[in-house]
């Protein structure tokens, strides 16, 4: 199977380091991996017709003290939508997929969600490490092959509050304490989900602010399985 990694955008999120990690993970799982540092190939989807899964590792910075990086053009978005609709999988994590291309709402319709906050880093925290909290990741569909045998676990990192599509098949969730924003206490937010877009399969995991997060064994395994599941959809389409 073939995977295409699109690695770039704002360097503050170290996309190249994440790209290297993902390339190694997928190659160890038997994928042939191509890495692109530009989104331009998406505008010519015929050139990616043999790709089984796309992994966006693309970071956009949008805040009062940072310019915006990594925009996607309409032609590139249309190309991605076409590829997935025709069976190519899409898999990714955290802001590299869930907070990229904010000016492309159809992209977020495609992936099934949009990051909006990570309390206490709301709305903007100048000290990134202060955004980290201890939180639980609860496996909610333990019989699903993508999480089967993986136990619920605790993590110290950014806890993503996301707006999500109710048609997602949610595999893991997190519950907010309300310590930092009292009015969201008890709110259950999806962390890991899978979904369909016409003939294509999409997998997303909101964990992954740091490479250390992705190296947590449960997270590594969910991403490995999720990318393979997304890729296998093309052959089943």
pLDDT value of residue 195: 98
Taking residues 184-198, report their average pLDDT.
97
Domains of the chain (ranges plus CATH)?
A: 2-236 (3.40.50.880)
Whether the CB-CB separation of 48 and 34 falls below 8 Å is answered with no
175 vs 199: CA distance, rounded Å: 32
Q: State both tokens at 105.
A: 């709402």
pLDDT of residue 135 exceeding 90, the answer is yes
3-state secondary structure of 218: helix
Distance CA 202, CA 195 (A): 5
| The model's pTM | 0.94
Q: What is the mean pLDDT of residues 11-31?
A: 94
Q: Find the range with the poorest average confidence among 14-28, 54-68, 215-229.
A: 54-68
So what's the pLDDT on residue 186? 97
| pLDDT value for 68 | 53
Residue-by-residue DSSP string for 108-151: HHHHTEEEEEBTTB-S--SSGGGG-EEEEEEES-TTSTTTTTPP
pLDDT (mean) for 142-155: 98
pLDDT tens digits along 161-189: 999 999 999 999 999 998 888 999 999 99
Is residue 11 very low, low, confident or very high in pLDDT (cuts 50, 70, 90)? confident
List pLDDT tens digits, range 62-108: 544 444 556 899 999 999 999 999 999 999 999 999 999 988 999 99
Mean pLDDT of all residues belonging to the chain: 92
The pair of structure tokens assigned to 30 is 């038997």
| Predicted confidence band of residue 123 (pLDDT cuts 50, 70, 90) | low
Separation CA 129–CA 112 (nearest Å): 28
Q: How confident is the model at residue 21 (pLDDT cuts 50, 70, 90)?
A: very high
pLDDT at 63: 46
The answer to whether 10 touches 59, Cβ cutoff 8 Å, is: yes
């Amino acid at each position: 199977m073939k995977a295409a990694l699109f690695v770039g955008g704002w360097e503050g999120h170290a996309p190249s380091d994440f790209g290297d990690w993902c390339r190694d993970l997928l190659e160890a799982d038997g994928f042939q991996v191509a890495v692109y540092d530009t989104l331009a190939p998406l505008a010519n989807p015929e050139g990616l017709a043999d790709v089984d899964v796309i992994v966006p590792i693309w970071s956009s910075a949008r805040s009062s003290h940072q310019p915006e990086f990594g925009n996607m053009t309409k032609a590139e978005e249309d190309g991605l939508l076409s590829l997935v609709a025709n069976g190519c999988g899409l898999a990714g994590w955290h802001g590299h997929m869930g907070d990229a291309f904010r000016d492309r709402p159809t992209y977020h319709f495609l992936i099934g969600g949009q990051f909006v906050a990570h309390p206490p880093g709301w709305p903007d925290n100048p000290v990134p490490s202060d955004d980290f909290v201890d939180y639980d990741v609860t496996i909610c569909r333990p019989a699903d092959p993508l999480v089967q045998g993986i136990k619920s676990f605790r993590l110290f990192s950014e806890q993503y509050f996301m707006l999500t599509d109710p048609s997602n098949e949610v595999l893991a969730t997190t519950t907010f304490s309300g310590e930092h924003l009292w009015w969201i206490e008890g709110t259950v937010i999806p962390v890991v989900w899978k979904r369909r877009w016409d003939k294509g399969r999409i997998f997303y995991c909101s964990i992954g602010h740091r490479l250390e997060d992705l190296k947590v064994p449960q997270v590594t395994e969910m991403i490995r399985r999720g990318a393979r599941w997304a890729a296998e959809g093309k052959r089943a389409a």
